[in-house]
Amino acid sequence: MKRIATLLFATLTALSACHASPKPSPPKPANAMSNATHPQNPYYSRTDTTKLDLPNEVWKKVLSPELYRVARLGETERAFTGKYWNYEGLGTYYCAACGNALFRSDAKFASTCGWPSFFETVRPGSVRYRDDTTYGMIRTEVLCGRCDAHLGHVFDDGPPPTGKRFCMNSISLEFEPDRK
């Protein structure tokens, strides 16, 4: 009798332990990186520069509709409507889609075009370029070097020392102030 009671106790203990065990977490998508500040976007990272090659169906699930339309469909926000066109804070601008560092505030200049403008990127590989012949114009499109998000265009009418004007969509950027 005592043996049966011991067996029963052991079985019940095992069963309750089984119920108490935590549920397995869902698998992360390929190339996923956890980021506490962007829980809805597992691909966002300010430290990982690994190239991301994801289809738009994936981006559509993790970006806001407004950012998706600009970053993945190449739309342009209306001039003088974005949050950074006349912003003068000191810090770094990151890709809003993936967290890749793009520009420093000391490369930003006051532009009358209505979009945030910079004369150079934070490092050569932070962006990549593509010919854009839409709307009857010949322009150079600027894409994020990590995730290929559409950022804007670059023109040759910028100030010294580069003479470049990186004309960006505010919504594609995310500003982080310098720590004092």
Residue 165 and residue 117 in contact, taking contact as beta carbons nearer than 8 Å: yes
Measured from the CB atom, is 97 or 154 closer to Fe ion?
97
Q: How far is the CB of 146 from Fe ion (least distance, A)?
A: 5
Whole-angstrom Cα distance, residue 114 to residue 175?
17
Q: Where in 85-104 is the site for Fe ion (CB under 5 A)?
A: 95, 97-98, 100
Tokens of 121: 């990127």
95 is catalytic: no
Measured from the CB atom, is 46 or 146 closer to Fe ion?
146
Q: Count the helices and strands in the chain (H runs, E runs).
A: 3, 9
- Of 28-36, 134-142, 148-156, 166-174, which segment contacts Fe ion by CB under 5 A? 148-156
Q: How far is the CB of 94 from Fe ion (least distance, A)?
A: 8
Amino acid at residue number 52: L
Whole-angstrom Cα distance, residue 121 to residue 118?
7
Answer for which of 147, 167, 168, 171 binds Fe ion (CB under 5 A) is: 147
Q: Is 33 in the site for Fe ion (CB under 5 A)?
A: no
Whole-angstrom Cα distance, residue 36 to residue 17?
31
Measured from the CB atom, is 95 or 168 closer to Fe ion?
95
DSSP state of 51: -
Answer for which of 101, 142, 144, 154 binds Fe ion (CB under 5 A) is: 144
* Number of residues written out for the chain: 180
Measured from the CB atom, is 29 or 163 closer to Fe ion?
29
CA atoms within 13 A on the CB side of 26: 6
Catalytic residue among 98, 144, 147, 167: 167
Catalytic residues: 167
Q: Name the site residues for Fe ion (rule: CB under 5 A).
A: 95, 97-98, 100, 144, 146-147, 149
